[in-house]
Chains A and B, each alone.
Chain A
Amino acid sequence: MPPTGIEPSRMNRKKGDKGFESPRPYKLTHQVVCINNINFQRKSVVGFVELTIFPTVANLNRIKLNSKQCRIYRVRINDLEAAFIYNDPTLEVCHSESKQRNLNYFSNAYAAAVSAVDPDAGNGELCIKVPSELWKHVDELKVLKIHINFSLDQPKGGLHFVVPSVEGSMAERGAHVFSCGYQNSTRFWFPCVDSYSELCTWKLEFTVDAAMVAVSNGDLVETVYTHDMRKKTFHYMLTIPTAASNISLAIGPFEVLVDPYMHEVTHFCLPQLLPLLKHTTSYLHEVFEFYEEILTCRYPYSCFKTVFIDEAYVEVAAYASMSIFSTNLLHSAMIIDETPLTRRCLAQALAQQFFGCFISRMSWSDEWVLKGISGYIYGLWMKKTFGVNEYRHWIKEELDKIVAYELKTGGVLLHPIFGGGKEKDNPASHLHFSIKHPHTLSWEYYTMFQCKAHLVMRLIENRISMEFMLQVFNKLLSLASTASSQKFQSHMWSQMLVSTYGFLKSISNVSGKDIQPLIKQWVDQSGVVKFYGSFAFNRKRNVLELEIKQDYTSPGTQKYVGPLKVTVQELDGSFNHTLQIEENSLKHDIPCHSKSRRNKKKKIPLMNGEEVDMDLSAMDADSPLLWIRIDPDMSVLRKVEFEQADFMWQYELRYERDVVAQQESILALEKFPTPASRLALTDILEQEQCFYRVRMSACFCLAKIANSMVSTWTGPPAMKSLFTRMFCCKTCPNIVRTNNFMSFQSYFLQKTMPVAMALLRDVHNLCPKEVLTFILDLIKYNDNRKNKFSDNYYRAEMIDALANSVTPAVSVNNEVRTLDNLNPDVRLILEEITRFLNMEKLLPSYRHTITVSCLRAIRVLQKNGHVPSDSSLFKSYAEYGHFVDIRIAALEAVVDYTKVDRSYEELQWLLNMIQTDPVPYVRHKILNMLTKNPPFTKTMESPLCNEALVDQLWKLMNSGTAHDWRLRCGAVDLYFTLFGLSRPSCLPLPELGLVLNLKEKKAVLNPTIIPEAGASNQESLSNPGCHAQLAGFQNPFSSSQDEEEVDMDTVHDSQAFISHHLNMLERPSTPGKEQPLEMSVHSMVAAPLSVFAKESTSSRHSEHHHHHHHEHKKKKKKHKHKHKHKHKHDSKDKDKEPFAFSSPASGRSVRSPSLSD
């Protein structure tokens, strides 16, 4: 890792000790954003910003701000023209001349580039020079007002325009625009300090078409017509100090709905959707009430706005006092399945209003606190709204997800601390990306990060009790609200920032408990725990001998030491034991309370105090143990593989009341295909009181068991008689009752059972004819006329069931699939699919669920060889203009087709879509699906893997996705999946040079190179003098005086360093000592900012400087910040240099004026 990390890490350490210290030499107090023209036709925005800052150091002469893709016309400070440089190294991470194609190199360079503009390190893309006239003013630490005029033309990220191509005015067409992005992305649409830690008050002004509404943060003060009365200006004031990253905007011809319960809450949706909006938001006030009650704190902002927009970047995006939602969350009262999902989104958004928007974070490494708290209180809301079962089920689901992810990738670290910038200390060396910045993170990692954060909060709650937990939150909130009301004391505002340290301190103050071990285990360290448990019952001693082993050597695991709860259900009751897991002890003796079975019939007490009758005939006569559970409360982030007898799992499933235990026993029973398991599962299915999700998973388990015992299975296919009894008519059992979905539990079961049944297979491994006819009858007799709810999800699942019943076609000599040799069963299925898909065109279902299922089913038929494999149908459904769910389903099929048919053409088609599709979410999703279902992987030979593809993908992540962090990280993920960390194997060895195996730190010489070259290479590797020089140039952003003190370890470990050597070797001339030195001089050319820094300390007030100033302006006019121009300019520079090289951090830079003299 190049030592660019020095600055943030220094900062971090300080933060750990005391309060917040700004990385910037000034404090921002107020910002005005004024957008006076928005052109939907041209997709452009014109406006200005004005930042009010107070210098905090005397000799402030450079001000760095964030700005991306904005064209900046003019910068004035206190009405004086100011020179500025725009330099964004993230536009092109590695320069095009570089032949490097290994991901390690890229990731390092990318992290360096992001660091170079990271506001949390005091950096920015835009560097403004304070005019010399103001130097005196600055030295007195007086206020500066920076006025920047900018425009934005066809933004590719940050601001998304949706302009349907229909007739009419923009408002009639439903055209709208909204801000979007991943983490701090506000710099994409106006110049700002794009950090979560720089708070200020805001004045926001938007002039829009009179038929449109502009929704933004804070209070709408007034709306004023322009002189021609054709436009309106919306004036917003946000008096609560807010980070630029939490500023948002949505403009469109929205319908306005004032919440009938809370008049300060306003909802917005696109035209024609008002009835849906009314229904969807009718519930929101309850969420408000809930949060305000548990946090004993009023909602911090004076108003709240929800905006539902099309082509959303993410389903939910929370900003200060407003949230932007996907319009696809809207639903009518007839829709069952979407209702809880949408409500969850609303609740999530609201939780983030408190923690995330109102309370912001000090640095990226404190992000986990915010995500943790908001996720945790959202969980509490879930528990209250959907019940404990749903909540525990959700926790279990999240736990399984994070465990699976960490074991796969090697760990998620919540609170990364970066010491010294050394590669050795890199806390995430197992990953193919840097976790130093949110913008280098893989999206999947970030999702899992959030998931882990809230689970850890729950662990803290387990430790200190919920009451204390809520007190801590309340304390944080009241501190923040006190600080926020200090209008003129901006130094107080840092109280609104949360840090890991502050949070932990608050916990120890409130609870008096030491949670340090817990934090160390789950927050400061990555990995989960993997337990293997087994037991034996010692009859003589009446003792349960429990053995718990751990695997802490596999990637993503860690060793757990501490308490572990074990619950043993015995005949006499349920008993909790807390074991101490220590270094070497594996065996734990647990004394049993009950003597082995007595003959007396007696009820058995359960954990919850309930007493039940059990048929104990199945159990071991010698042992009083019914079942054992390890860590039943999920108070460790773990995976448990526990061995107990099948009858114990069956008892657990039937009688344990915890849904998590039921779920676990269902999973375990898959391995015991016996009539007893079958009976236990069927009983669960029939039990009305049982949690519906447990019953749903019992369906699938039953199908699996039935398949395993196919030769001994008696009676009708599994679940058929059950379904008939529950959902069919009494008089004619082959006809399903007309739909009535009033009871949601049975609705979900009714939906799931046929899907599971379709997985049944007979001895020939075919779906039994009886089952297929059964499902076809369900479809035939489906009658929704008397139902209050829509049956679209139900019908979609019936199609899923049909797809599940498909088995591979018997192929004779690879004959071509035609209609004539179509299997008669498949013909019936195809008949249904055709009819459903065609009916969708006439009577579309909600969110086109049926089309989605049909497309999936068609792909299944293709894949199983019943229908000729062809992607053209899917491609037509994937086009822009279809509903997004349909597009994703179609794209998924194309991705699958690409993999199965190894089609280069389709892969190109997908790659093209990634670059050109208008919807960012779709682009992201394609990359995501390609990564999940890759056409080939690094361990696989494939005709698709060729040099052109490598170059294409490299270009995509290097420069093609600079406008969208998420997309770029997605491209990196795909590259990693396809080629791995090192140089892709399909590339030829570089003509001259080494092939470095970076994982093993080994260098392999290209055999074609003459031995001298190799020798000289070794020489240069072992030359310390040139190391120092090279290290100096690699880090132009650290002050240049550091050159001499470069840590040698850093240099050795730095892969970027090695790769530079590679570049040097590609040079035809013989290497010597002088050349590296010469090179370091040239490196200055490419790194103007380092020159800046030097300059600033030496000759700040010289005349010399003035001269530059003018020169600079001229330059600016010439370039006008067109990247194309810059590029040309850049390459010209390079031509002049004796040899080309690339510095990861230097980026594309405007040439420094001081050297052009």
Chain B
Amino acid sequence: MADTAAGPGGSGTRSGSKQSTNPADNYHLARRRTLQVVVSSLLTEAGFESAEKASVETLTEMLQSYISEIGRSAKSYCEHTARTQPTLSDIVVTLVEMGFNVDTLPAYAKRSQRMVITAPPVTNQPVTPKALTAGQNRPHPPHIPSHFPEFPDPHTYIKTPTYREPVSDYQVLREKAASQRRDVERALTRFMAKTGETQSLFKDDVSTFPLIAARPFTIPYLTALLPSELEIQQMEETDSSEQDEQTDTENLALHISTEDSGAEKENASVLQQNSLSGSRNGEESVIDNPYLRPVKKPKIRRKKSLS
């Protein structure tokens, strides 16, 4: 009940004006009409003989809001206690919360002059058209209780591998890679240029060759010297493979990999040990560098405090 009452609040006015034949709308219209009847009967009960349409509408609206709120709030309480079906106590708590004195309710319900209203015509619960279903929903595995929600449609999580003949023509591949990269780069830079400040080489035209505006860095050398993430990644990828024919290039033979990293580790470990605890005997006595020695505490102060 509470669930359904929450729905029409928004769509009620719209559907009235539209006079559409939508079954869902019809359903909501019927409910609203019932509410109007209730309001009218309550007005009669209060001694009114006639009422303007506008005021009846307003009161209906208020009633509807009130009931909706009860429903919404009750639902919250019920969910709060990990249930899906609201119980009476949920409603009671809700009413209390809303400032309603529940004790007066039974008396009010049993009042003599109350009018009995016919139940709303039974219309079918609107059927929400099922979203495109593909395949059978998977049943719950035994360890999941059945009241748990069902699995979503399989197409939302199942992957379907497709097989296609890969393009193996070198020229086509290179062509494709090149144009793809170029397109991506162009799109990306254009986007950046569109969203940020630009400079232009032509006074009359700022869009054909937009240059992203030069922006000074606070520490310019960092971006200039450090390899970008892309490059680091590339290096890691290529490092292990194919790069062993290094030896013949005598001139610029660069130090990489093994020995370098070995030295690194050694050094790092020394640094670490030193920073942790001054001088321990063993390996680090091999490296005695004044910059690795611990910083001394001031002497004079200590003397003063002692004396």
- Measured CB to CB, the residues of A under 8 A from B are 164-166, 174, 210, 213, 219-227, 229, 232, 256-258, 260-261, 263-264, 266, 270, 272-273, 276, 278-279, 282-283, 303, 310, 327-328, 330-334, 336, 339-340, 385-387, 390, 729, 731-732, 735, 742-745, 780-781, 783-788, 790, 817-819, 830-831, 834-835, 837-839, 841-844, 846-848, 858, 861, 867-868, 870, 872-873, 876-877, 879-885
B254 within 8 A of A: yes
Known interface pairs A219-B290, A732-B171, A783-B174; 10 further A-B residue pairs with C-beta atoms within 8 A, sorted by A's residue number? A164-B218, A225-B297, A272-B226, A333-B256, A729-B170, A742-B246, A744-B249, A787-B238, A843-B230, A867-B202
CA gap between A884 and B221 in the complex, in Å: 8
B225 within 8 A of A: yes
Using Cβ atoms and an 8 Å threshold, which residues of chain B touch A848? 224
CA gap between A976 and B3 in the complex, in Å: 92
- 14 sample A-B contacts, Cβ–Cβ < 8 Å, listed by A number: A166-B219, A220-B290, A222-B293, A263-B286, A266-B289, A340-B252, A786-B238, A788-B235, A819-B204, A835-B185, A841-B189, A841-B192, A882-B220, A883-B221
CA gap between A868 and B205 in the complex, in Å: 12
B178, A819: Cβ atoms closer than 8 Å:
no
A339, B254: Cβ atoms closer than 8 Å:
yes
B246, A328: Cβ atoms closer than 8 Å:
no
Using Cβ atoms and an 8 Å threshold, which residues of chain A touch B231? 334, 790
CA gap between A227 and B298 in the complex, in Å: 6
Using Cβ atoms and an 8 Å threshold, which residues of chain A touch B202? 817-819, 867-868
B226, A883: Cβ atoms closer than 8 Å:
no
Count residues of chain B with CB under 8 A from any CB of chain A: 80
A225-B214 in contact given A279-B260, A283-B255 (Cβ < 8 Å): no
B221, A336: Cβ atoms closer than 8 Å:
no
CA gap between A876 and B199 in the complex, in Å: 10
CA gap between A331 and B211 in the complex, in Å: 28
Partner among A221, A266, A847 whose Cβ is within 8 Å of the Cβ of B224: A847
Using Cβ atoms and an 8 Å threshold, which residues of chain B touch A261? 263
Within 8 A of A (CB), among B197-252: 199, 201-205, 208-228, 230-231, 234-235, 238-239, 243, 245-246, 248-252
CA gap between A177 and B100 in the complex, in Å: 74
CA gap between A95 and B234 in the complex, in Å: 62
The 7 closest A-B pairs by CB, nearest first: A881-B216, A260-B263, A838-B189, A220-B290, A883-B224, A732-B171, A883-B220
B291, A258: Cβ atoms closer than 8 Å:
yes
B147 within 8 A of A: no
A260, B267: Cβ atoms closer than 8 Å:
yes
B159 within 8 A of A: no
B295 within 8 A of A: yes
A1016 CB to nearest B CB, Å? 61
B201, A873: Cβ atoms closer than 8 Å:
yes
B217, A881: Cβ atoms closer than 8 Å:
yes
A735-B174 in contact given A339-B254, A848-B224, A870-B201 (Cβ < 8 Å): yes
Using Cβ atoms and an 8 Å threshold, which residues of chain B touch A272? 222, 226
B230, A742: Cβ atoms closer than 8 Å:
no
B56 within 8 A of A: no
B188 within 8 A of A: yes
Using Cβ atoms and an 8 Å threshold, which residues of chain B touch A858? 201
B288 within 8 A of A: yes
B45 within 8 A of A: no
B254, A276: Cβ atoms closer than 8 Å:
no
Partner among A340, A731, A841 whose Cβ is within 8 Å of the Cβ of B170: A731
A281 CB to nearest B CB, Å? 10
B274 CB to nearest A CB, Å? 10
Within 8 A of A (CB), among B74-116: none
A216 CB to nearest B CB, Å? 12
CA gap between A303 and B271 in the complex, in Å: 19
A785, B234: Cβ atoms closer than 8 Å:
yes
Partner among B175, B225, B238, B301 whose Cβ is within 8 Å of the Cβ of A847: B225
Partner among B227, B235, B289, B298 whose Cβ is within 8 Å of the Cβ of A258: B289
A386, B251: Cβ atoms closer than 8 Å:
yes
Interface string of B177-189 (1 = CB under 8 A from A): 1110010011011
B224, A213: Cβ atoms closer than 8 Å:
no
A258, B292: Cβ atoms closer than 8 Å:
yes
CA gap between A744 and B251 in the complex, in Å: 9
CA gap between A222 and B299 in the complex, in Å: 12
CA gap between A625 and B251 in the complex, in Å: 36
Interface string of B270-307 (1 = CB under 8 A from A): 11000000000000001111111101111111000000
Within 8 A of A (CB), among B12-58: none
B170 CB to nearest A CB, Å? 6
A634 CB to nearest B CB, Å? 22
- Measured CB to CB, the residues of B under 8 A from A are 170-171, 174-175, 177-179, 182, 185-186, 188-189, 192-193, 199, 201-205, 208-228, 230-231, 234-235, 238-239, 243, 245-246, 248-252, 254-256, 260, 263-264, 266-267, 270-271, 286-293, 295-301
B214, A876: Cβ atoms closer than 8 Å:
yes
Using Cβ atoms and an 8 Å threshold, which residues of chain B touch A744? 249, 251-252
B246, A846: Cβ atoms closer than 8 Å:
no
Q: Considering the complex, give the chain A residue whose CB is closest to the CB of B288.
A: A263
Using Cβ atoms and an 8 Å threshold, which residues of chain B touch A282? 255, 260, 263
Using Cβ atoms and an 8 Å threshold, which residues of chain A touch B266? 260
Partner among A279, A339, A783 whose Cβ is within 8 Å of the Cβ of B178: A783
CA gap between A831 and B183 in the complex, in Å: 12
Q: Considering the complex, give the chain B residue whose CB is closest to the CB of A834.
A: B209
A868-B225 in contact given A164-B219, A742-B246 (Cβ < 8 Å): no
Q: Considering the complex, give the chain B residue whose CB is closest to the CB of A875.
A: B214
Using Cβ atoms and an 8 Å threshold, which residues of chain A touch B170? 729, 731-732
Partner among B218, B289, B296, B297 whose Cβ is within 8 Å of the Cβ of A263: B289
Using Cβ atoms and an 8 Å threshold, which residues of chain B touch A333? 235, 254-256
Using Cβ atoms and an 8 Å threshold, which residues of chain A touch B211? 834, 837-838, 873
A1104 CB to nearest B CB, Å? 46
A876, B213: Cβ atoms closer than 8 Å:
yes
A755 CB to nearest B CB, Å? 21
A328, B221: Cβ atoms closer than 8 Å:
yes
Partner among B221, B248, B299 whose Cβ is within 8 Å of the Cβ of A270: B221
B307 CB to nearest A CB, Å? 16
B266 CB to nearest A CB, Å? 6
CA gap between A320 and B222 in the complex, in Å: 29
Q: Considering the complex, give the chain B residue whose CB is closest to the CB of A257.
A: B267
Using Cβ atoms and an 8 Å threshold, which residues of chain A touch B230? 843
CA gap between A303 and B286 in the complex, in Å: 16
Using Cβ atoms and an 8 Å threshold, which residues of chain A touch B249? 742-745
Using Cβ atoms and an 8 Å threshold, which residues of chain B touch A273? 222, 225-226
B243 CB to nearest A CB, Å? 5
CA gap between A458 and B267 in the complex, in Å: 41
A844-B223 in contact given A219-B290, A882-B216 (Cβ < 8 Å): yes
Using Cβ atoms and an 8 Å threshold, which residues of chain A touch B226? 272-273, 276, 332
Using Cβ atoms and an 8 Å threshold, which residues of chain A touch B251? 340, 385-387, 390, 744
A842, B296: Cβ atoms closer than 8 Å:
no
A223, B293: Cβ atoms closer than 8 Å:
yes
CA gap between A210 and B170 in the complex, in Å: 59
Using Cβ atoms and an 8 Å threshold, which residues of chain A touch B182? 780, 835
A327, B246: Cβ atoms closer than 8 Å:
no
Using Cβ atoms and an 8 Å threshold, which residues of chain A touch B250? 387
A911 CB to nearest B CB, Å? 21
A742-B245 in contact given A258-B287, A835-B186 (Cβ < 8 Å): yes
B135 CB to nearest A CB, Å? 40
Q: Considering the complex, give the chain A residue whose CB is closest to the CB of B297.
A: A225
CA gap between A247 and B268 in the complex, in Å: 30
Using Cβ atoms and an 8 Å threshold, which residues of chain B touch A164? 218-219
